[in-house]
Amino acid sequence: MALRTSAALILFLLVCVGNLLCYAYIPKIINGRPTGGFLKGFLFHRQLPHSIQDPVTNELWFDQKLDHFDPSDTRTWKQRYFINKSYFKPGGPIFLMIGGEGTADPIWMSTGDWVENAKKYNAFCIQVEHRFYGKSHPTEDMSTENLKYLSSMQALADLANFRQNISPQFGFTKNKWISFGGSYPGALSAWFRLKYPQLVDGAVASSAPVNAVLNFKDYLRVVTESLATFGGPECNTAISQATEAIEQLLKTPAGRNLLKTNFNLCQEIDISNTLDISNLFSSFSGNFEGVVQYNRDNREFEHVKGTNITITTLCNIMTNKNYGPPIDRYARVNQLMLKTQEEECLDFSYKEMIKDLRETSWNSSAAEGGRQWIYQTCTEFGYFQTSDFPKQPFGHYYPLSISGQICMDLFGKKFNLNLTSAGIQWTNANYGALHLSGSRIILPNGSIDPWHALGVLSDISKDVKAVYINGTAHCANMYPAAASDPLALVLARQEISEFVGKWLL
């Protein structure tokens, strides 16, 4: 069965309910979120290593309120969480890993930099899954009516309620709490400390996009800059030349047939279908965007496909004249990504994408997280990665209007760009955007990561610190250390650990 791509970016396989490997017309990256969530990249079905199937990480369940802001609503649901008490000593701190827009993965209960800090500071580790993701289902389905209970404010209140009620159960009295998170959960970590400072004593907020924006055109700006940094300016030049060649071939039936063959497309190109054409160009740029976002992150332990493919890999192809003209090299990159993801062809039908993302059942492919994350971007954050940045090589075929169209087609006509803009305005007013107040918050960001454009890159105060890590990508500081890590990353991890230690004094 052929897989399909979307207007958001490119195709993916996803893990479905019941651990079945499913095929669906859902994008590999939706508004910057890869399948499985930000920390997993392109995730495929896998079995957990035996060491992870340990009693200390077995899933547990907490009775959570459905609506924290309506006292008359007494409905509850089961929220999943994991614990690891292997490193804990009496009086030690509680480390809270905040779940995000994907399934909470127990592999993180014994792996990653936060675990090294847990060993160092004798911490009790807890990971809480985000409402509406993974197995944490607050409602019977994902209908638009039910998704009104999906918001960052409800998620933060979940954490507060969990924190208050779980402490007596485990005998936590005067223990200090430190929250951790990466990407959207990184923002939640910072906001948890901001909104509930009496419940959490410090926050590590990695790659946190705390500044909500409607048109995230700087995403492609950073991608372009990162390609130039690691591949040289000739890499972007070759991509631009390939894009121009594609534009020329689209003008004739013979040219479109050639594109279908060379890029292994799943269907004929209908030049009058602008939404499909948008998806096509989005898919081509997506081949590079996902690689840039996770360039050389130490993600192998998550069993992610394609971790060996780096910016250098792609740019070496794009600049190798032995592979023919730039368009042939561009096609070679596309074939590499199809092969890596075990995809038969590249499908770019907008209609089919919307059809699959409209599914509301927890047993549907959309339940992997794509539908829920789009809802959050349409109502709270924007984060719409568009082709509107002028000096990028991928063409200008997926403007802001496409993102607005997706929101309306999935959730209804009222979910237009005006609604999104109002949601963004409230989000930034509520949390402070790039002007976070509060204290004991540290915000690491990588220079290669496109998301750093929405993060805090310089100290706000002596207690709200930025760590800008040159040469690293998305959430790099969270992954296990490797001998090949650049010095800047090694020093950043040390700095983060030192701050956590100070907070625990």
Q: What is the DSSP string of 154-218?
A: HHHHHHHHHHHHHHHHHT-SS--EEEEEESHHHHHHHHHHHH-TTT-SEEEEET---S-EEE-TH
**Is 449 annotated as catalytic?**
yes
Find all residues with CB under 8 Å of 326, minimum gap 6, and list them.
238, 239, 241, 242, 245, 318
User: What is the pLDDT at residue 53?
Assistant: 41
Note whether 22 and 28 are within 8 A (CB). no
Secondary structure of 264-275 in HEC code, one letter for each residue: CECCCCCCCCHH
Of 183, 226, 278, 349, which residue is the catalytic one?
A: 183
Q: What is the C-alpha to C-alpha distance for residues 88 and 340, in angstroms, rounded to an integer?
A: 40
User: What is the pLDDT at residue 22?
Assistant: 27
Note whether 99 and 109 are within 8 A (CB). no
Q: What is the C-alpha to C-alpha distance for residues 63 and 85, in angstroms, rounded to an integer?
A: 21
User: What is the pLDDT at residue 237?
Assistant: 98
Note whether 11 and 341 are within 8 A (CB). yes
Q: In angstroms, how far is CA 123 from the centroid of its own chain?
A: 27
User: What is the pLDDT at residue 33?
Assistant: 57
Instruction: Please check whether residues 229 and 207 belong to one and the same domain.
Output: no
* Domain assignment present for 39: no
Domain end marker among 407, 426, 445: 426
Instruction: Please check whether residues 235 and 171 belong to one and the same domain.
Output: no
Instruction: Please check whether residues 450 and 404 belong to one and the same domain.
Output: no
* Domain assignment present for 184: yes
Question: In this structure, what is the dihedral angle of CA atoms 360, 362, 364, 369, given to the nearest 10 degrees?
Answer: 90
* Domain assignment present for 44: no
Instruction: Please check whether residues 124 and 198 belong to one and the same domain.
Output: yes
User: What is the pLDDT at residue 39?
Assistant: 53
User: What is the pLDDT at residue 308?
Assistant: 84
Instruction: Please check whether residues 448 and 421 belong to one and the same domain.
Output: no
Instruction: Please check whether residues 152 and 181 belong to one and the same domain.
Output: yes
**Is 474 annotated as catalytic?**
yes
Q: Is 18 exposed, middle or buried (0-12, 13-18, 19+ CB in 10 A)?
A: exposed
The owner of tokens 């071939």 is 249
Note whether 114 and 124 are within 8 A (CB). no
**Helix or strand or coil: residue 361?**
coil
Give the Cβ contact number of residue 2 at 10 Å: 15
User: What is the pLDDT at residue 307?
Assistant: 77
Instruction: Please check whether residues 248 and 183 belong to one and the same domain.
Output: no
Output the domain CATH number for residue 408: 1.20.120.980
Q: Which pTM value belongs to this model? A: 0.91
**Strand pairing report for 177-182 and 202-206:** parallel
Instruction: Please check whether residues 369 and 395 belong to one and the same domain.
Output: yes
Find all residues with CB under 8 Å of 402, minimum gap 6, and list them.
7, 275, 278, 386
Q: What is the C-alpha to C-alpha distance for residues 467 and 488, in angstroms, rounded to an integer?
A: 10
Instruction: Please check whether residues 337 and 437 belong to one and the same domain.
Output: no
Output the domain CATH number for residue 149: 3.40.50.1820
**Helix or strand or coil: residue 89?**
coil
Of 137, 201, 474, 485, which residue is the catalytic one?
A: 474
How far is CA 20 from each of CA 3, 5, 45, 106, 271, rounded to the nearest angstrom?
16, 20, 8, 18, 36
Domain end marker among 400, 426, 452: 426
* Domain assignment present for 112: yes
**Is 183 annotated as catalytic?**
yes
Note whether 493 and 113 are within 8 A (CB). yes
User: What is the pLDDT at residue 301?
Assistant: 59
Of 113, 356, 449, 485, which residue is the catalytic one?
A: 449
Domain end marker among 411, 426, 441: 426
* Domain assignment present for 207: yes
**Helix or strand or coil: residue 21?**
strand
Instruction: Please check whether residues 312 and 402 belong to one and the same domain.
Output: yes
What's the domain count of the chain? 2
CA geometry: angle at 180 spanning 175 and 183, to 5°? 165
**Which ranges of the chain have pLDDT less than 50?**
1-26, 40-55
* Domain assignment present for 43: no
* Domain assignment present for 17: no
* Domain assignment present for 36: no
Question: What range does the domain containing 405 cover?
Answer: 214-426
Instruction: Please check whether residues 295 and 270 belong to one and the same domain.
Output: yes
233-249 vs 326-340: helix axis angle to the nearest 10? 100
Q: What is the C-alpha to C-alpha distance for residues 102 and 47, in angstroms, rounded to an integer?
A: 17
Instruction: Please check whether residues 230 and 342 belong to one and the same domain.
Output: yes
Q: What is the C-alpha to C-alpha distance for residues 292 and 158, in angstroms, rounded to an integer?
A: 33
Tell me how far apart the 2 most distant CA atoms of the chain are, in Å: 73
